[in-house]
Structure 1
Amino acid sequence: MFVGLTFTINFIHYFFIPDIKFALHSFIYLFNFFIFMFVVMLFDRDPERMNLTTYKTLLVMIVFQLFVLLLFPDNDDVRASGTFNRSNQLAYWCVLTAAMLLVLKRRMRFTIIDLAAFAILTYMQMLALSKAGIVVFFLLFFMFVFSPNMPRRYRYFVLLFAALFSISYVGNAPKIYDFFMGFDAVDAVSKRLGTFGKQSDDTPEARGYMRLVEYPGYLLIGAGEGAYYRFGRQELHSGIATLLFSYGIFGFGFFIAFLASAFYRLSFFYTALLVPIFLFGLTHQNIRFSFFWIFLAVAYAGHFFKDKGVYTETVKKGKLANKARE
């Protein structure tokens, strides 16, 4: 229903204002919905095999992206972009990849490989220097550490390292602080966060939020995604706000209903992963990105697994009981 509504609203606006973007954005949502359905269909056929294949592919993608960043640095920009056009796209990809990594572990414990993969994603997020990406990755870090999949000894190790860094940054530990700041990526992140709220693009006006107040009628009927010159110089820099403004409360409601149906009766941990993703989307376009719809499909595939969730002590005891019976 959401995709159908995007076509309806966009083509009505296209009839009066022939901007090709109205049509393109409708087809983007249709394309992404087909991707979602295709991935779900693959998981439905063989959940365990598809989950393992996706997990291995994700690890390969992480390593490949790291090699691109290291071997082909962006000499013209201090912010890395890797295989993407912009650094913010790389930052969002790191957020989605980390979230997908957490989902793909399902009933399995984290291994040293998972810790290494998350560390690489953290490093690439630091190179991207996206303020939104850095902030939400802090949240993902805590979700990663306190995930039921995290072995206790790994959790203590990561928390010890994080505490050491925090004490050196906030407290009076100049030697440790100088050690961490000696890494260019850490120093760059520190300086980048120091500009938070001080740059012109950090304001609601720069992100395009004021059009929600200045043109409230579109919150009901939807402004469509196109002909942005009607409201300002550029499109609204927010995924959630774009849905609300472009497709009205009904389109926004249909999208929320779609998410609710996809995550219904899944582990709460899966649903919680949407929080950092949509926090990133408060200042960036994040709904159109096809990788986001793949994440939704991978999370939805949790319905095809018997335990429908993450690793828990209950699952562990159940496995031990089954072995005892054998």
Structure 2
Amino acid sequence: MEPIHKHNNPLFYKLTLGLFILYFIVKPFYILPSGSLQMADLIMLLLLFFMIFINKLKVKIKKKNSSFIILNLLFISYIAIINILWTVILGEVVYKMTLYYIFNFLACFLVIILFSRHGNKLFKAVYWGVLISILLQTLLIMLLNGVTTGRDTGFFNNPNQLGYFSVVSLCLLIYSKRKLEDKAHLFITALTTCFFLSLISLSRGAIGASVIIIGLYILKNRSIFLLLKRRLMRVILGGFLLISFILTFFIYYDSSLITDSKIYYGLNKRVVGKDINSIEEVSTRGYDRIFIHPQYLIFGAGEGGFWRFNSYKEFHSTLGNIFLSYGLVGFLIFTFIIINAFKYNRWREFYLFVGIMVYGLTHNGIRNTLMWIFIALIACDLSDGEEIDA
């Protein structure tokens, strides 16, 4: 798809895409505490400033994207109203959570603007930005820390952030790859790298989501492996068979080769050794709040004041948090956003969103900017349409 409007200055044209690529590269590097503006966030705000103010406060977007923007505005408006109301009622600060949603709306708006200007070149920028990011992250982790028996954080503040980053990066790579002609072996390397990052994070949600996403992708796109040259395919197949034979031999005669490995030890400790039953898991994550506090299910309890639930933790579920915090009203608005984004995509990549929500069964990822960028990119997957001023 060709861009709607291209800036006359080639340097500006390259700069905007370059900044967007840089955003993904530095995204995993957290300097300040979680919840603060990081380097990548500042780059995004700078890029948004360039795109809006250099164009004299006038930007053009696809007419079909206007409904996506309106629904997002409705969502953050409702969130702001609910959080402000509960701030007044409880006498404690709840409204600050709204700032995250406003920032993520700006990220979505930026993606729509960039797409209207760059067209499919935007997907190329996403692909290479994410690819460089995950490879750089993996290289630095291996050089500085190596694989440990504990949960690796990479350059994030906690291992769950690394796990979620690997899952959403996986989705961004798969989706943007569909728009490009790229060498299959590089793409497979990228998928493997994302899965490796999820493994070393030892996040059960991230590992499970990655397995589901990659499995569904293979079932849906079996022909991707036929793109490899026959010689390379023979090398890969031969290497796989050789490694399988060696592993089988050592497992049969000396299983310690596997059981003594650091990744195996960490996974066994996190998954097999997790001494918690399903009822405790539901309570720990916060799902019991839905049944114990049904009074919040229509309009929402806001995001904060967790003492009301005899807890100091938020609801560890993406969809669950939306449902409890903003009620059925907020949940329906979010559902309409997803429907609006995927209907022009003809639901081809909806399985990627399902994978993200699998991770979201045990973690609240609704405020993660990369997830909203992914949704906005899906919303850009539409046929040529009339442009409008925004």
Length-normalised TM-score, structure 1: 0.82
Contact 2:149 2:263 (8 Å CA) reproduced: no
Q: After TM superposition, where is structure 1 displaced by more than 4 Å over at least 4 residues in a row?
A: 74-77, 156-170, 175-183, 199-202
Give distance in 1, aligned partners of 2:243 and 2:195.
Answer: 15
- Residue identity (%): 25
Q: How does 1:149-298 map to 2 (within 5 A)?
A: 150-152=224-226, 174=252, 180-181=258-259, 183-196=261-274, 198=276, 203-233=281-311, 234-298=313-377
Give distance in 2, aligned partners of 1:201 and 1:105.
Answer: 40
Q: CA deviation at 1:276?
A: 1.1
Q: How does 1:43-82 map to 2 (within 5 A)?
A: 43-73=115-145, 78-82=150-154
Write the letter of the residue equivalent to 1:37: F
In structure 2, list runs of 5 or more residues that go unmatched. Answer: 1-73, 386-390
Q: CA deviation at 1:165?
A: 9.4
Contact 1:144 1:150 (8 Å CA) reproduced: no
Query: Is 1:16 matched with 2:95?
Result: no
Length-normalised TM-score, structure 2: 0.69
Give distance in 1, aligned partners of 2:360 and 2:309.
Answer: 20
Q: Which residue number corresponds to residue 324 of structure 1?
A: none
Q: Which residue number corresponds to residue 39 of structure 2?
A: none
Q: Which residue number corresponds to residue 4 of structure 1?
A: 77
Q: Which residue number corresponds to residue 216 of structure 2?
A: 143
In structure 1, list runs of 5 or more residues that go unmatched. Answer: 307-326
Q: CA RMSD in A?
A: 3.4
Q: CA deviation at 1:189?
A: 2.3
Deviates more, 1:58-67 or 1:177-186: 177-186
Contact 1:209 1:241 (8 Å CA) reproduced: yes
Give distance in 2, aligned partners of 1:142 and 1:165.
Answer: 21
Q: What secondary structure does 1:151 align onto?
A: helix
Residue correspondences, number = 305
Q: What secondary structure does 2:214 align onto?
A: helix
Deviates more, 1:35-44 or 1:179-188: 179-188
Contact 1:220 1:250 (8 Å CA) reproduced: yes
Q: CA deviation at 1:62?
A: 0.7
Contact 1:39 1:298 (8 Å CA) reproduced: yes
1:105 to 133, 154, 177: 177
Deviates more, 1:35-44 or 1:74-83: 74-83
Compared with structure 1, are the counterparts of its residues 69 and 199 closer, same or farther at alpha carbon in structure 2 (3 Å cutoff)? farther
Give distance in 2, aligned partners of 1:202 and 1:168.
Answer: 41
